[in-house]
């Protein structure tokens, strides 16, 4: 006759299982809250086998007596990387006993309203946007009586979350999405989690991981566009969605309606909160409150890039960006292989790509455009007769698929065109000693969009006003948009461009192997 289990034995077995589960939950919580990551620390997580040993493990806070307190891993105005961030009733909650150790909330977040010249006060954050809560207050608000079997009312969103608090004002623009939002995101994440490198003047080649093998940088689980609907973060040509899927293929996307769902879920008579083990909060208004963006560059990504470059966490010639560049190129079916080095190398051939905007609103005068195309082709033919390897690509983006545009521009050595969205493709260029961007403005016009982005990747940038050229540091102090800036009659003297290209190549062939125009030199001593 078989052994029969008694009711008493069943009860003891269940109690033992519950005790074991509770113990392991508390042990996991203890390990996570003891991680050596604090605001302004100079060290970052150690790695084992190429993977983060401090990557947050799955955690059920429902049975935790001790709630993990919020820590800041990295911060620049408008860019804040949190460990253990919370959200309840629409406010981001920092769980801490020491709120003064955190940056000013105005440099971390805002109300998310679109920016203009008159509503600075309306965009300043309040406790409805970000609040400091002590662990004791958190338990009073969301804690359950564990001794009675009640769970804490805190739900964890596992993995890494991108919290984009930017208004939809600029999200649906390829440049602002890729060359600002994505550019700054990767600068901060790579700088915070990848290998620590030497100061900018002495970066060894061995400090960098190969493209697509940046295993230290955490995988993005989701991106939440807090103030944008499904169409608000997508651009007309479709590059924003294209880039998001190519670079973060496993990430889910949530929008404002999903954020409202999450807010409503916390507005209960009991009280409830969401928990983000690892979250990057990005806020455009907060970035503009610092002079680096607000007065110098007008580029939000400059904050994240500069703080990491000044600490020697990213290099100045674009190796840190190689994983993103390679992911986009590979997604398009192009050659994603790169040779990463601490020096800019001489390319084996020169590819000149003209972003031809004659089919768009802002473009050159018709005759000047024809003269430019003819002059570049003559230059390339002459160089090839001299035994060199030169190539000319006359690109009408509207006639090419997204894949074709990326494959064409990823081969580029020198890119030129009228100021416009197509120049954003410069982020796909593999920097070398001859890499350059030539931007054509109506005389008197100037903007820093592509100028700052080019230099931050180790490339030269030149501006052209008809028959006049200039480059850093001899540039206008401020952006300017005179009459005709967006018009169809921008003048250009083609021989001036040809001379600029030849002079640039001649100077760089025997010139320095490292960039001498990096934006980090502009404000290296500034406190950002």
pLDDT digits (tens, 9 = 90+) for 88-141: 999 999 999 987 889 999 999 999 999 887 888 999 999 999 999 999 999 999
Structure tokens belonging to residue 66: 């001790």
* Element spanning 252, H or E: strand 252-254
Last residue of a domain, one of 274, 292, 314: 314
Averaged pLDDT score across all residues of the chain: 85
Alpha carbons 166 and 182: distance in angstroms, whole number: 13
Question: How confident is the model over 315-339, as pLDDT tens digits?
Answer: 888 889 998 999 999 999 998 887 7
Strands 91-95 and 79-88: antiparallel
Of 431, 470, 433, give the one whose Cα is nearest residue 451. Answer: 470
In a domain, 523, yes or no: no
Alpha carbons 315 and 389: distance in angstroms, whole number: 30
Q: What is the reported pLDDT for 142? A: 94
Q: Range of 451's domain?
A: 344-512
Structure tokens belonging to residue 487: 């018009």
Question: Span 401-411, mean pLDDT?
Answer: 96
213 confidence band (pLDDT: 50, 70, 90): very low
What is the C-alpha end-to-end distance of the chain, expressed in Å?
79
Structure tokens belonging to residue 213: 């093998």
Last residue of a domain, one of 266, 293, 314: 314
Rg (C-alpha) for the chain, rounded Å, is 26
Q: What is the reported pLDDT for 515? A: 66
> Cβ neighbours of residue 212 under 8 Å, at least 6 residues apart?
323, 326, 327, 330, 336
Alpha carbons 348 and 341: distance in angstroms, whole number: 16
Least confident of 19-23, 140-144, 401-405: 19-23
Q: What is the reported pLDDT for 230? A: 94
Angle at CA 175, nearest 5°, toward 325 and 130?
Answer: 100
Torsion sign (Cα): 439, 441, 443, 447: negative
Q: Within this chain, do residues 235 and 361 fall inside the same structural domain, yes or no?
A: no
Beta strands in 142-251 (DSSP E): 154-156, 160-164, 220-225
Q: What is the reported pLDDT for 511? A: 76
Which percentage of the chain shows pLDDT scores above 70?
A: 83
Count of Cβ atoms closer than 10 Å to residue 459 Cβ: 25
More confident residue, 48 or 252: 252
Q: Within this chain, do residues 290 and 417 fall inside the same structural domain, yes or no?
A: no
Q: Within this chain, do residues 298 and 350 fall inside the same structural domain, yes or no?
A: no
Which percentage of the chain shows pLDDT scores above 90?
A: 68
17 confidence band (pLDDT: 50, 70, 90): low
Cα distances (Å, whole numbers) of residue 523 to 67, 197, 303: 40, 20, 11
> Cβ neighbours of residue 337 under 8 Å, at least 6 residues apart?
211, 326
In a domain, 433, yes or no: yes
Structure tokens belonging to residue 386: 């001299």
Alpha carbons 412 and 202: distance in angstroms, whole number: 27
Q: Within this chain, do residues 259 and 375 fall inside the same structural domain, yes or no?
A: no
Q: Within this chain, do residues 483 and 383 fall inside the same structural domain, yes or no?
A: yes
Q: Within this chain, do residues 378 and 465 fall inside the same structural domain, yes or no?
A: yes
- The tally of domains found in the chain comes to 2
3 confidence band (pLDDT: 50, 70, 90): low
Count of Cβ atoms closer than 10 Å to residue 448 Cβ: 19
In a domain, 323, yes or no: no
In a domain, 333, yes or no: no
Question: Span 256-280, mean pLDDT?
Answer: 95
In a domain, 20, yes or no: no
Q: What is the reported pLDDT for 202? A: 40
- Whether the per-residue pLDDT at 216 is higher than 60: the answer is yes
CB 300, CB 288: distance < 8 Å: yes
* Element spanning 353, H or E: strand 350-355
Of 354, 356, 320, give the one whose Cα is nearest residue 338. Answer: 320
In a domain, 518, yes or no: no
| Residue 524, phi-psi category: left (phi > 0), alpha (psi -120 to 50), beta (remainder) | alpha
In a domain, 332, yes or no: no
Burial of residue 339, with CB atoms counted within 10 A of its CB: 0-12 exposed, 13-18 middle, 19 or more buried? exposed
| Residue 182, phi-psi category: left (phi > 0), alpha (psi -120 to 50), beta (remainder) | alpha
520 confidence band (pLDDT: 50, 70, 90): confident
In a domain, 77, yes or no: yes
């Amino acid at each position: 006759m078989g052994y029969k289990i008694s009711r008493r034995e069943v009860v003891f077995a269940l109690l033992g299982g519950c005790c074991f589960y509770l113990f392991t939950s508390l042990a996991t919580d203890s390990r996570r809250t003891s991680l050596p990551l604090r605001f302004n620390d100079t060290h970052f997580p150690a790695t084992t086998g190429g993977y983060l040993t401090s990557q947050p493990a799955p955690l059920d806070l429902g049975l935790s007596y001790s709630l993990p307190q919020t820590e800041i891993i990295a911060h620049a105005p408008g860019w804040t990387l949190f460990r253990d961030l919370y959200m309840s009733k629409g406010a981001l909650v920092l769980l801490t006993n020491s709120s003064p150790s955190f940056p000013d909330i105005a440099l971390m977040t805002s109300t998310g309203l679109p920016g203009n010249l008159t509503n600075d006060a309306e965009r300043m954050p309040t406790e409805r946007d970000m609040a400091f809560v002590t662990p004791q207050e958190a338990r009073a608000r969301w804690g359950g009586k564990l001794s009675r079997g009640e769970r804490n009312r805190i739900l964890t969103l596992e993995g890494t979350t991108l919290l984009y608090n930017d208004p939809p004002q600029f999200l649906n623009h390829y440049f602002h999405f890729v060359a600002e939002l994505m550019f700054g995101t990767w600068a901060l994440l790579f700088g915070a989690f990848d290998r620590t490198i030497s100061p900018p003047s002495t970066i060894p080649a061995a400090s960098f991981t190969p493209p697509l093998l940046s295993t230290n940088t955490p995988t993005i689980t989701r991106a939440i566009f807090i103030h944008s609907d499904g169409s608000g973060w997508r651009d007309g040509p479709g590059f924003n969605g294209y880039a998001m899927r190519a670079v973060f293929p496993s990430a889910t996307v949530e929008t404002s309606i999903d954020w409202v769902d999450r807010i409503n879920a916390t507005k209960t008579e009991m009280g409830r909160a969401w928990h983000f083990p690892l979250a990057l909060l990005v806020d455009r208004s907060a970035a503009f409150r610092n002079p680096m963006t607000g007065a110098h560059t007008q580029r939000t990504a400059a904050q994240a890039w500069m703080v990491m470059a000044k600490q020697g966490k990213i290099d100045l010639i674009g190796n840190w960006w190689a994983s993103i560049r390679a992911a986009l190129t590979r997604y398009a079916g192009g050659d994603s292989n790169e040779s990463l080095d601490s020096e800019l190398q001489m390319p084996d051939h020169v590819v000149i790509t003209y972003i031809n905007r004659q089919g768009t609103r802002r473009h050159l005068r018709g005759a000047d455009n024809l003269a430019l195309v003819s002059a570049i082709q003559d230059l390339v033919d002459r160089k090839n007769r001299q035994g060199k390897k030169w190539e000319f690509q006359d690109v009408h983006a509207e006639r090419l698929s997204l894949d074709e545009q990326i494959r064409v521009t990823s081969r580029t050595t020198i890119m030129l065109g009228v100021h416009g969205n197509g120049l954003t493709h410069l982020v796909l260029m593999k920097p070398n000693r001859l890499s350059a961007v030539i931007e054509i403005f109506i005389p008197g016009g100037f903007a820093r969009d592509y100028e700052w982005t080019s230099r931050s990747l180790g490339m030269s940038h030149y501006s052209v006003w008809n028959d006049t050229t200039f480059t850093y540091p001899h540039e206008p102090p401020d952006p300017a948009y005179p009459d005709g800036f967006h018009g169809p009659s921008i003048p250009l003297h083609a021989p001036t461009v040809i001379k600029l290209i030849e002079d640039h190549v001649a100077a760089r062939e025997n010139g320095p192997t490292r960039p001498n125009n990096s934006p980090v030199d502009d404000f290296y001593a500034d406190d950002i």
